[in-house]
Each structure stands twice: as structure tokens, then as C-alpha cells.
């Protein structure tokens, strides 16, 4: 996922007159939770509070407020509150109720919003993909859109070309070292071109007790072969082996096209990160 802070800076640099819309309170069933926010400029928006009529109403109010201001006023921060029931009267059937705060962005608010985004970016979980083949490339494209810091680790320089800008790449002759250096709570997805290398990386990941997810591409036969090697040769335990997800993406959809595996695996990874 592109760092929110860098995209936010670009938006604020491009628009001198901006309002912030924030969900101050959310009761019942609502599109977004309290604290969700978006920015509204006269000709553009950044972020979302859930879409639908709720968001359209908020954008209209924010732009109405911006139009009432002849020019941005340093040090001044105009604010409005909207209390909106999410029922048939506005064409939504969520059934909840949302209170919105609409505030004009002065310089101090701009700085604090960017600082908060930088903090949030730093907290994003790490996902390390070992292998830049067809599935690794498809999975990197899926993860590039999600709130994670994705890195592709490869031993082959040519396999690291053409990845999404939001995905980091790392060339190393010893990929298992990247497992040791990863932060706590990281997810590891192993899909290299070499089964023996897969086994070394997975074994290293399973030895860590602080991972959110350890997955290996392959068949049940590959998993059984890894288990035998891991327990008899690599000094692993049944408890450690039990944490391995393989094949990645589950068995509910029997479609082996890279994009399908990537979609299923991305959902699996995000679920594991949410539970960590």
C-alpha cells in the first residue's frame, strides 16, 4: 500500500483550501467507525467515510463551508457538526446513526494530520514474500492495495523487476536472514523457485514465536515432505509445524491461476494479521 503520509502530503500540496470530515460518533450499523476521516477540496477528495448518501452529504456540506470562506485563514478553523440517521430518508438502510465533524484545515491541522498519518504508516504490519515468480508477483499486486508493508525477497536480480511501486524489493543470497530481521508480528509467505530453499526459509520462520502468519505454496505432498524433514532433520517440533499454512489460500477454491491464489492468500494473510 502506498504510504498514506506521502499521498496525503501530495494532496495537501495540491489544494490550499481543504476541509476535514471525521466520524465523531457511530451508533448501530454504520459504514465506518468513529475516527474514520476524509479530506474534501473544491475539486477533489482524499479518503472515505464509507461512501453512499452519507458521504455525498458530507462532501456537499464541506464544500459549502469552503465556498463561504473567501480564502484560507491561517490560525482559523471553522467547524460544523452533522447528525445523520442512516435510514430511508437519505436512501441508506444501514439503520445506524452517524455524527460528523466538518472542520476547515488550517496549517496546524495540516501538520497534525500528516504527523498522525506518518505514525499510522509506521504501525503497518510487515508481509515478506519470498519469491518473485508468477504467484509472488500476483500476490504483491494484491498486497500493494492493502494496509501492509510488503517486501519481496529474492536471490535472483532479474526476478525483482516490474513490481508495484508500493512494494519494496530485496536482493540477497541468504533470504532466511530476512526472517530473523523482520519485526514481531510479521507475516511470511514462501513461494520461491526452489523447494529446498522454501524449506530453509519456512523452518526459520516457524522457529520464531512471534509471527502472525507463515505460509508455503505447494501441495499436500510438499507439506508432508517438509514435515518429515522439519521434524527429523531440522530439529523442529510438532507445535511449530502446526503453525504452518500450506497450501496457501486454502482448498475451498480449486483454481491454480496465480491471480486466484493471490486473492485467496491475501484474504488469508489479512485475516491472520487482524487476529495477531
Q: Model confidence over 167-219: pLDDT tens digits? A: 999 999 999 999 999 999 999 999 999 999 999 999 999 999 999 999 999 99
State the pTM of this model. 0.84
Mean pLDDT of the region 16-25? 95
Full 3-state SS string of the chain: CCCHHHHHHHHHHHCCCCEEEEEEEEECCCCCCCCCEEEEECCEEEECCCCHHHHHHHHHHHHHHHHHCCCCCCCCCCEEEEEEECCHHHCCCCCCEEEEEEEECCHHHHHHHHHHHHHHHHCCCEEEEECCCHHHHHHHHHHCCCCCEEEEEECCHHHHCCCCCCCEEEECCCCHHHHHHCCCCCEEEECCCCHHHHHHHHHHHHHCCCCCEEEECCCHHHHHHHHHHHHHCCCCCHHHHCCEECCCCCCCCCCCCHHHHHHHHHHHHHHHHHHC
pLDDT at position 2 is 66
d(CA 209, CA 205): 8
More confident residue, 241 or 89: 241
Domains recognised in the chain with CATH numbers: 16-121 (no CATH), 124-275 (3.40.50.720)
Work out the angle at residue 36's Cα, subtended by the Cα atoms of residues 32 and 39, and round it to the nearest 5 degrees.
120
Q: Is the pLDDT of residue 73 over 60?
A: no
pLDDT at position 140 is 97
**Percent with pLDDT over 90 in the chain:** 79
pLDDT at position 71 is 53
Mean pLDDT of the region 233-242? 97
Confidence band of 130 (pLDDT split at 50, 70, 90): very high
pLDDT at position 87 is 75
Lowest mean pLDDT among 16-30, 91-105, 142-156: 91-105
Q: Is the pLDDT of residue 1 over 90?
A: no
Q: Is the pLDDT of residue 137 over 90?
A: yes
Q: What average pLDDT is seen over the chain? A: 92
Amino acid at each position: 500500500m502506498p504510504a498514506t503520509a506521502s499521498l496525503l502530503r501530495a494532496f495537501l500540496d495540491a489544494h490550499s483550501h481543504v476541509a476535514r470530515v471525521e466520524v465523531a460518533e457511530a451508533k448501530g450499523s454504520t459504514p465506518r467507525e468513529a475516527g474514520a476521516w476524509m479530506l474534501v477540496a473544491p475539486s477533489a477528495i482524499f479518503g472515505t467515510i464509507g461512501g453512499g448518501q452519507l458521504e455525498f452529504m458530507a462532501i456537499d456540506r464541506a464544500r459549502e463551508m469552503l465556498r463561504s470562506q473567501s480564502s484560507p485563514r491561517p490560525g482559523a478553523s471553522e467547524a460544523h457538526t452533522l447528525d445523520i440517521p442512516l435510514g430511508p430518508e437519505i436512501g441508506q438502510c444501514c439503520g445506524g446513526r452517524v455524527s460528523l465533524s466538518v472542520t476547515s484545515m488550517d496549517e496546524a491541522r495540516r501538520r497534525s494530520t500528516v504527523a498522525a498519518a506518518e505514525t499510522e504508516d509506521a504501525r503497518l504490519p510487515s508481509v515478506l514474500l519470498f519469491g518473485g515468480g508468477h504467484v509472488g508477483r500476483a500476490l504483491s499486486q494484491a498486497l500493494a492495495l492493502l494496509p501492509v508493508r510488503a517486501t519481496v525477497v529474492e536471490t535472483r536480480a532479474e526476478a525483482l523487476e516490474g513490481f508495484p511501486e508500493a512494494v519494496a524489493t530485496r536482493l540477497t543470497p541468504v533470504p532466511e536472514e530476512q526472517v530473523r530481521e523482520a519485526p514481531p508480528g510479521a507475516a511470511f509467505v514462501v513461494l520461491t523457485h526452489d523447494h529446498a530453499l522454501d524449506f530453509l526459509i519456512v523452518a526459520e520462520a516457524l522457529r520464531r514465536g512471534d509471527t502472525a502468519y507463515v505460509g508455503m505454496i505447494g501441495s499436500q505432498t510438499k507439506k508432508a515432505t517438509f514435515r518429515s524433514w522439519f521434524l527429523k532433520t531440522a530439529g523442529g517440533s510438532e507445535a511449530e509445524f502446526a503453525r504452518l499454512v500450506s497450501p496457501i489460500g486454502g482448498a475451498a477454491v480449486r483454481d491454480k491461476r496465480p491471480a486466484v491464489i493471490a486473492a485467496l492468500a491475501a484474504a488469508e494473510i489479512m485475516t491472520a494479521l487482524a487476529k495477531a
